[in-house]
Chain A
Amino acid sequence: MRLRVAVITVVGVAALAIVGAAIWRPALSPVSVPSGFDPALVVKGSQLAAIGDCAVCHVGRDGQAYAGGNPVQTPFGAIYASNITPDPSTGIGTWSEAAFRRAMRDGVDRAGAFLYPAFPYNHYTHVTDADLSALYAFLMTRQPVPAPTPANRLLFPLNIRPIMAGWNLLFLHQGPVPTDPSQSETWNRGAYLVEGLGHCEACHTPHNVLGAEETGHAFTGGVAEGWEGPGLTAATSPAAVAWTADAIDRFLRQGIDNGHAAAAGPMGLVSHDLSGVPEADVRAMASYIASLTSAPDPAHEQQVAQRIAAAQRPPAALDGTPGATIFAGACAGCHGAGAPMMQAGRPSLGLSSAVTAPTPRNATQVILHGLQPQPGEAGPWMPGFAASLDDAQVAAVLSYVRARFTDRPAWTGVEESVHQIRQDKPS
C-alpha cells in the first residue's frame, strides 16, 4: 500500500514536471531600448516587414504604424494585434534581439507567455537569422507609440495561453524552408519568402478545427477575415484563365492584373505593401506561386475570350429578371460593354476570380463594401452598395453576373450567404 502511494506520488510529480517543462518558458531579461543600428540593415528590415505584412495587423487604432490594438477576428474570438513599436512599457522596447527571435521562431513573448498563431509564427519560424536581425533593427527604430494592447476576447479554454504549447507540439514545424536544387535560385528565393515571411498559406490554405493549416492541402484555398483566399493550385484555382508568373508579379506589385482581377480585402493591403518591396523579391514570389498552378492553355483561353465577348450583350434568357434590372441601373455604367472602365482595359467580370469562385463570398464583400485604395493613393475603386441594395437584391445581381459572365454552375444559398456576410464586420 505504502509502496503504491509512493509510486503514484513519484509518477504524479514526474508528470507534473514534464507538463511544467513543456509549458514553462522563462522571461528573457529586459534591455534598454537599443540604438545605433546600421541604416542599411534598417532599410532591409523595412522591405522584409512589407513582405511580412506586419503593418496590416499591427496597425494602431488611430492608424499609427505598428502601434497595435487592431482586433484580428478568428473563429475563436478576437485577438488584438500587439504594439510592436519600441515603446518600453506598452511595446517591445525592452525586448532583446534574442527575445524577438524567440517570438518569431517559437511564438513566445519576452515575458515567457505563449502567443497565438493569428500571429503567423508557424511561418515566421522559417525566417533566417540575418533577416530576423534586419526586422529587429527596423522595428526598434520606429517611432515609439505608447498604446496598451486590449485584452483578447477568446473562447474558453483558448484564453489560457499555455494551451498553445500543445498546439505548437502538433502544428509548429520549425527549421528552414527546404531548398530544391532542381529549381532556379529565383524559385527557391520565392519559396522562402512565400512559405516564411509572406505567410501566404495563412489565407490560401484551409484550416482545421484547431485553427491550424490542414496538412496535405497547402494553397487549396481558405477563408480569413471574412474573405476567401482562393486556391492557388492547378486543381483548386478558380481563375478563368491560368495565372502566369508575369500576371502574378503584376497583381502582387500593382494590385491589379487586367487579365484577371483587382486585389480586394486583405489581399489589397498585401499588394499595397508589396509595391514597395524590391522587384526581384516579388518576381521570386510570383515564380514560386506560378509553379503551383497549371500552365496557360491557349485553346482554353480562346474559348474564355469568346464567351466573354458573347457576354458583352445581355443574354435574352435573363432579360427582365431582377438581377438584369439591377445590373443595368447599378453596375453597367462601369462593367457593361463600352463603359469607360472597360475601354481602359480593365478585366471583364468573366475573368474575375470573385465571380468564378465556388462561393459568392468575395463577390458579396465587394458589392456590399466596395473596393477602396489606401487613403491618398490611386488604385482600383468601386463604391459599396450595402446602403442601397438589400440581401435579396444583392443575391439577384450576384446570380445574374454568375450566369451572364461565366459557364460555372449557379451558386446556391446566395441570399442567406449575403445576409451572413452583411452581419460580419467588414475588414
Chain B
Amino acid sequence: MIVLTVNNIRHELEIDPATPLLYVLRDTLGLHGAKYGCGLGQCGACTVMVDKRAVFSCLTPAAVLEGRQIKTIEGLGTIEHPGPLQQAFIDEQAAQCGYCIAGMIMRAEALLERNPSPTDAEIRAQMQPNLCRCGTHTRILAAIHRAAAVTRAAALAVPATQEAAR
C-alpha cells in the first residue's frame, strides 16, 4: 500500500509503487488537471508541485512520494473561486487550446510561493521546461506578472484579511 497526500488529503492506495504520479492522479484519484503530453519530461503538461517544487508527474514514481506534500491545480482554487494565478490566466486570456495551462500554472505557483516578486528573467528561467504548442507564451508571462502584482497589492492593501483568507 502507498500513502499519498494530495492537496492536503491523505489517500491509501493499492497501486504498483512504480506507477508514475500522473496516472495515480488521473486514473485513481480522478484529478484530471495535470495532462499527459509526452511522458518523457520534455513538455511540462504534467507539472505538479511536490514539497513546494515543480516536478514532472509523468516521471515521478508513486513510491518516492510517501510522506511528501503533493499539490495539483485542483488545490489552487475552484471554478467559482479561482486562485490568483488561475484568475490572472483567465484575465490575460493566456489559454488557447489550454492543454499546457495546468502545468504552466503549477510551475509558476512554485516560483511565486518562494519568490513573490520575480523579475521577468526569473520567470522565464523558471518556465523554461514547459512548452506551449499554441505559442501563447507572451500571455502566459503576462499572466504570471499579473498574478504576482495582484497578490502583492492584496497583501499591501489588507494584510489581515489576506492572512485570514489563507
Contact = CB atoms under 8 A, between A and B. Distances in A.
Interface of A: 62, 322, 324-326, 328-330, 333-334, 340-341, 381-383, 385, 387-390, 393
A329 B50 contact: no
Interface in B15-74: 17-20, 39-42, 50-51, 53-56, 58-64
B129 interface: yes
Interface residue SS majority, chain B: mixed
Given A387-B50, A387-B53, A388-B50, A329 B40 contact: no
B129 A329 contact: no
B46 to A, nearest CB: 11
A389 B50 CA distance: 10
Nearest to A394: B64
Nearest to A392: B64
A342 to B, nearest CB: 12
Given A387-B55, A388-B59, A328 B18 contact: yes
B19 A388 contact: no
A388 B63 contact: no
B103 to A, nearest CB: 13
Given A325-B63, A340-B40, 12 more contacts: A329-B59, A329-B64, A330-B20, A330-B59, A333-B40, A333-B58, A383-B59, A388-B50, A388-B60, A388-B64, A389-B64, A390-B64
Contact of A334 (B40, B61, B121, B129): B40
25 contacts: A62-B121, A325-B18, A325-B61, A328-B18, A329-B18, A329-B19, A329-B20, A329-B59, A329-B60, A329-B63, A330-B20, A330-B61, A330-B64, A333-B58, A333-B59, A381-B42, A382-B41, A383-B41, A383-B42, A383-B56, A388-B50, A388-B56, A388-B59, A388-B60, A389-B64
Interface of B: 17-20, 39-42, 50-51, 53-56, 58-64, 121, 129
Contacts of B39: 333
A325 B66 CA distance: 14
Contact of A326 (B54, B56, B58, B61): B61
Given A389-B64, A390-B64, A325 B17 contact: yes
Pairs A-B, 10 closest by C-beta atoms? A329-B61, A383-B41, A387-B53, A328-B18, A329-B18, A388-B55, A388-B60, A325-B18, A325-B63, A387-B55
A110 B91 CA distance: 57
Nearest to B19: A329
Contacts of B58: 333
Given A333-B40, A383-B41, A328 B61 contact: yes
B152 to A, nearest CB: 25
Given A325-B17, A329-B18, A333-B40, A387 B54 contact: yes
Nearest to A324: B18
Given A329-B59, A387-B55, A393 B64 contact: yes
Contacts of B55: 387-388
Contacts of B63: 322, 325-326, 329
Contacts of B19: 329
A330 B59 CA distance: 4
A383 B42 CA distance: 7
A288 B39 CA distance: 41
Contacts of B50: 387-388
A329 B53 contact: no
A271 B34 CA distance: 36
Nearest to B44: A383
Contacts of B17: 325, 329
A382 B129 CA distance: 11
Contacts of B53: 387
Contacts of A329: 17-20, 59-64
Contacts of A322: 63
A332 to B, nearest CB: 9
A62 B18 CA distance: 41
Contacts of B40: 333-334, 340-341
A62 B121 CA distance: 10
Nearest to B58: A333
A383 B50 CA distance: 16
Contacts of B54: 387
B50 to A, nearest CB: 6
Nearest to B57: A388
A322 B17 CA distance: 9
